[in-house]
Every structure is written in C-alpha cells, then in structure tokens.
Amino acid sequence: MRKNLIITLLLAILVTFSLAADDPSASFSVAASIGAINEMKITNKPVTTATFGDDDNSFSGTVAIVGSGEGANMNSSGNVTFTAYISTLSNNRSGYSVSMSATPLTSDGATINYTVTVNEVPYATKTNTTALTVLEVGSLSALDAKSLPIAVTVARSEYDSAVQGTYEGSVTFEYKAAN
C-alpha cells in the first residue's frame, strides 16, 4: 500500500508539473526585399510618384524651332516656347544626381548655338564642354518624384544669319545613383 501511495504521489506531482508548464508557442519570419527604382524621362508636365508611369505625360522627343511666321515658337530674344520637364522617380536610400549636356544645332558644317536651362543651371553649347549637375538629391526615406522645367534659348543672331538646312542638336541627361 505504501508503494501504491508513493506511486500515486509521484504521478500527482508529475501531472501538476505538466499542467503548470509554459504554454506552447509558434512563430514564423516575415521578410521583404525592395528593389531599386532609378528612373528618369522627359515629360510634358510635372509628375508625381502616382503619375510618373502614366502614358499621357510622355514628351514627343523633338522641339521644332520656328523663328517667325505661322507656328512661330521663338521670340526676338531667342526664347523658345515649349513644355518639357526632366522627371525622376527614385527610392535610392543614398540619393542621386542628374547631369545635363548638349550639342549645338548643326547642318552640313553650319552651327547655331543655344542655351538649355534646368533648375536655374544654364548649359551653353558655345562655351560648355562638360556636363553640368542640374539636380542633386540627398538621402531618401521614401519613393520620391521630381520634375524640373526645361528651357531653351537660341542664339537669335546665329539663327537669323544661318544658311538654309535642317539643323539638329541634342540635349542629354544622365542619372547617377549615389552609393
């Protein structure tokens, strides 16, 4: 009987410890990988993070300069009227910069110079030879969009005295993600 009592007491103690044990738990991990967004394009209106990808904000790609007559878009000072923006979309934690360069309008050896301005930084095709930084964004804590207007002023005297021909030049923007 004494053995039965000892066994019964041992079983009671074990059951009590089993009931008093910590509640079981379970867990799992959650992870996300956010890819880099480093985009730039020329748009016909300012954009936001929500409208950057919209089809209706695309710029046609060419600015046809008309100095006089029907469809004229250049005044007597050489300011060309058109609407274009350099627009960026980025989530780069370290930020980014945008530089700009341009080539003069040329046709069979003849040249017409102009100045393109973005963010109050002018690039003159007659005197500038290296790209200029027009936008520098420091660290970002969220997805961000920027749109800066582009302005062109043609050397009106060179335009007015130019020989016949189709003149072409280019404006180039370079996006550089910070490390």
What CA–CA distances, in Å, run from 81 to 14, 26, 65, 73, 85? 90, 66, 9, 5, 13
Q: Tell me the two tokens of residue 71.
A: 């469809």
Average pLDDT over residues 33-38: 95
pLDDT digits (tens, 9 = 90+) for 124-161: 999 999 999 999 999 999 999 999 999 999 999 999 99
**Entry field: residues in the chain:** 179
Segment 75-132, tens digit of pLDDT? 999 999 999 999 999 999 999 999 999 999 999 999 999 999 999 999 999 999 999 9
Residue 61: the pLDDT is 80
CB 102 within 8 A of CB 116: yes
Class of 37-177 in CATH: mainly beta
Average model confidence (pLDDT) for the chain? 91
Cβ–Cβ < 8 Å for 153, 115: yes
- Under 8 Å between Cβ of 133 and 99: yes
pLDDT at 164 over 80: yes
